[in-house]
Structure 1
Amino acid sequence: MQKLKTHYHPEVKNLENKSVFTRLATRSIAIQGNTILLLYTKRYEDYSLPGGGLDVNEDKIEGMKRELNEETGAKNIKNIKPFGIYEEYRPWYKPDFDVQHMISYCYTCDINKELGNTNLEAYETKNGMKAVWVNIHKAIAHNTKIMTTSNKKGLSIERETFLLKRIAEGLK
């Protein structure tokens, strides 16, 4: 799979003498026309691709399907194709490591427009995460505005906005 970008959070100046934790994750790209299935998170006021961490030894495609179903209730997930890898280094919030090295494997797929029940984790519910079909260009504009005007932005908004822009380029 093609690497799309390696991003270093501004707080991660270098990796010298740092303990690094690597986390593998997946991101799902389900598009119908100019409409894309995203998660809106009220806490951070942003849009993100459905996805999350893989379990130990979990197959990437199976993990992608699991995360997509858990977070959005997506049904009939098919035609899964690699889109690219987004790699990032960002501060780790627990005392066991200094830096998190996140590798996100992104896949396009087709799903039913109608979504089923979600199975969100407690923190996702607490953060006000909700699956929504939204115009991709509106989502990009919204995230771009949040990146420049909000003090509530989360660590993933730059990744998500970069990926949304790359996806939108493919729609032209």
Structure 2
Amino acid sequence: MRLLKSTVHPDLSSLDGKVLERLAARAIVLKGEEILLMYTERYHDYTLPGGGVDQGENLIEGLKRELSEETGAQNVRDIQPFGCYEEYRPWYKDDADYMHMLSYCYLCKIDDELAENALEDYEINNGMKPVWLNIHSAIAHNLETIASNPKAGMSVERETFLLQKVVAECLINSPLKQAV
């Protein structure tokens, strides 16, 4: 899968030491300019549904599980690779010096009706919920969150980059797509 971007957190002075590898699968589900996202009240941001791939799962299995758990999506199909976003982040536990996270993003389709989701406790406590939203509105919202909170973090930057990339490459009337 193509590498979309690689980032290193500014607090990491080197990539020496023990690394924790984390694989994540993220879903891009579009209906025209509407996109299925997770809104997190605690961080006031929109993110692609998805998350860590469990031991023994492949990326597609992890994608389907995460999408179903977070949003209630059913019949995940027509899965196409979009790209990978690589991050090197500080890790504040004793088992590693830093984390290397690879987020594998896939375009896919789902049934129109969402079933009940099965969020984890921390997701519920953070006020996460699935929403269909205009992708341009989601980008504008995340950019505002980044501008108003200097400590917004790498996750919202990753998600905003990915949403902008989706607009540039996937939306038919995108001026960015027409310029390519």
Q: Same fold (TM over 0.5)?
A: yes
Structure 1 residues 147, 34: CA separation in 2 closer, same or farther (over 3 Å shift)? same
For the pair 1:14 / 2:52, whether they are aligned, the reply is no
Amino acid at match of 1:96: D
TM-score normalised by L of structure 2: 0.91
Specify the SS of the correspondent of 1:68. helix
For the pair 1:167 / 2:179, whether they are aligned, the reply is no
* Offset of residue 151 of structure 1: 5.3
User: 1:146 is matched with which residue?
Assistant: 145
For the pair 1:2 / 2:15, whether they are aligned, the reply is no
CA contact (8 A) 1:46 1:153 kept: no
* Offset of residue 153 of structure 1: 2.4
* Unmatched runs of 5 consecutive residues or more in structure 2: 175-180
CA contact (8 A) 1:43 1:152 kept: no
* Offset of residue 9 of structure 1: 1.3
Structure 1 residues 56, 44: CA separation in 2 closer, same or farther (over 3 Å shift)? same
* Unmatched runs of 5 consecutive residues or more in structure 1: none
Specify the SS of the correspondent of 1:56. coil
Residue correspondences, number: 171
Amino acid at match of 1:31: L
Q: Note the alpha carbon deviations across 1:88-138, whole angstroms, 9 max, x for none.
A: 001113222121100111100011232111111111111000000000000
* Offset of residue 11 of structure 1: 1.2
In 1, Cα distance between the equivalents of 2:44 and 2:92?
21
Amino acid at match of 1:66: R
5 Å-filtered alignment, 1:100-111, equals 100-111=99-110
TM-score normalised by L of structure 1: 0.95
Amino acid at match of 1:30: V
- Kindly report the root-mean-square deviation, in angstroms, between the aligned alpha carbons of the 2 structures: 1.2
User: 1:115 is matched with which residue?
Assistant: 114
Q: Percent identity?
A: 56
